[in-house]
Amino acid sequence: MSRTKLAVLGIIVIFVGLTVAQTLYTVRETEQAIVLQFGKPIRVVKEPGLAYKLPFVQNVITYDDRILDLDPAEVQILLTDKKRINVDAYARYRIIDPLKFFQAARTEAVLRDRFGKIINSAIRQEIAKNSLGDLLSENRLSIMQAIQSKVSSEAPTFGIEITDVRIGRTDLPPDTSQAVYNRMRTEREREARELRAEGAEEAQKIRARADREQIVILAEAQRTSDILRGQGEGQRNRILGKAFSRDPEFFDFYKSLAEYEENLVDSNTTMVLTPDSDFFRYFGSATGSRE
């Protein structure tokens, strides 16, 4: 084998290799491809696997066959109730017609830019018809559906299919959210005040009831004890009256003596007496009589 032979063999191998590489290509499970001939699309390949094309005159562009994300910039929308809201929506789409996609957008970046604007304008149109309350209610679903149908009608021009359009963040701009915060705060302050006032009210009631109960209990006790005292005094009068009424005259005498004894004995009394009192009946005469 001469050197020339070897060189020729080498060139042939390289040429064959190059041709094979130019002819065969793979389309992955996640991809789809279009075949271009001198830059003009002639064929779409959606089946994954090994495929072939004419070498050198045709080339292949692959696009993603999965669900892709499209996340347009946040838009500020004036709602019917004059409230401003920032809406950040996102869409999910799939390239279903790579040929159209190639003609209309060529790359995902271009699509993102152009279709993002379409999505945002649909969002703007649909959401601006509503008030904030609507947006936060069950209507949200129908709003999203309206946006999706609007967006979907534009999709075929780009060779794409819109899987889903969803409203993500819907935030109030800073000044509006400040107003909301202020309202929340005042509401809570009112609630707190109310709770404290209720507490004071309840406390007052409990105290008042207790005070009343105290007074009633004491008054009742006063009444009972007055009755008891009255009973005692009455009984005493009855007992003594019954005993003393046997001889009122003797009672006078007996009681007087008892009182003298009690009040005059041991009391340093100075008495100025005349001897003609009954006590001194025999003071001057043995017969007990005086002249």
Partner 1 sequence: MPWQSDNGGGPWGGGGQSPWGRGGGRQPPNIEELLRKGQDRIRQFIPGGGASTKGVVLIVLAIIAVWLATGFYTVNPREQGVELIFGRLFEVTGPGLKYNLPGPIGEVLTPQVEAINRVDVGYRGTADTGARGGVARDVPEESTILTGDQNIVDVDFQVQWKISDAVAFLFNIRDPEATVKRAAESAMREVVGQATFDDTVTVGRQQIEERTEELLQAILDSYGSGISIENVRLQKSDAPAEVIDAFNDVQRARQDKDRLQNEAQAYANSIVPEARGEAEQMIQQASAYRERLIKEADGEAQRFTLVYDAYLVAPEVTKRRMFLETLGQVFGSADKIIIDGPLGGGQGVVPYLALPEINKRSKEGSN
The distance of Cα 253 from the centroid of its chain, to the nearest Å, equals 94
Which pairs from 75-80 meet CB under 8 Å and 24+ separation?
75/120, 75/123, 75/124, 76/173, 77/123, 77/124, 77/127, 77/128, 78/128, 79/127, 79/128, 79/130, 79/131, 79/132, 79/135, 80/128, 80/129, 80/130, 80/131
**If binding is defined by CB under 8 A, does position 213 make contact with partner 1?**
yes
Applying CB under 8 A, among 121, 152, 157, 170 the residue interacting with partner 1 is 170
Identify the H or E element spanning 42. strand 40-45
Q: Which of 4, 82, 109, 138: binder of partner 1 (CB under 8 A)?
A: 138
Listed in order, strand segments (DSSP E) in 74-176 are: 75-78, 84-95, 160-171
Interface segment toward partner 1; rule CB under 8 A; list 7-15, 38-46, 53-61, 180-188: 180-188
**Residue 262 C-beta: closest distance to partner 1, Å:** 10
The single residue among 37, 137, 145, 153 that binds partner 1, judged by CB under 8 A, is 137
Near partner 1 in 95-134, by CB under 8 A? 132-133
Of 57 and 192, CB closest to partner 1:
192
**At closest approach, how far in Å is the CB of 113 from partner 1?**
18
CA distances from 35 to 21, 26, 44, 76, 258 (A): 15, 12, 6, 42, 147
Q: Is 22 exposed, middle or buried (0-12, 13-18, 19+ CB in 10 A)?
A: middle
Contact pick of 84, 106, 129, 185 for partner 1 (by CB under 8 A): 185
For position 290 contacting partner 1 by CB under 8 A, the verdict is no
The reply to whether 84 sits near partner 1 by the rule CB under 8 A is no
Tell whether residue 80 is a contact of partner 1 (CB under 8 A). no
Within 8 A by CB and 6+ apart from 148, the residues are 162, 164, 165
* Residue 233 binding partner 1, by CB under 8 A: yes
Nearest approach, Cβ of residue 276 and partner 1 (Å): 9
Among 15, 52, 56, 250, binds partner 1 (CB under 8 A): 250
Q: Taking CB under 8 A as the rule, does residue 8 contact partner 1? A: no
Q: What is the rounded distance in angstroms from the CA atom of residue 216 to the CA atom of residue 220?
A: 6
Binding footprint of partner 1, residue count (CB under 8 A): 111
Q: Is 261 in the site for partner 1 (CB under 8 A)?
A: yes
Q: Does 9 bind partner 1 (CB under 8 A)?
A: no
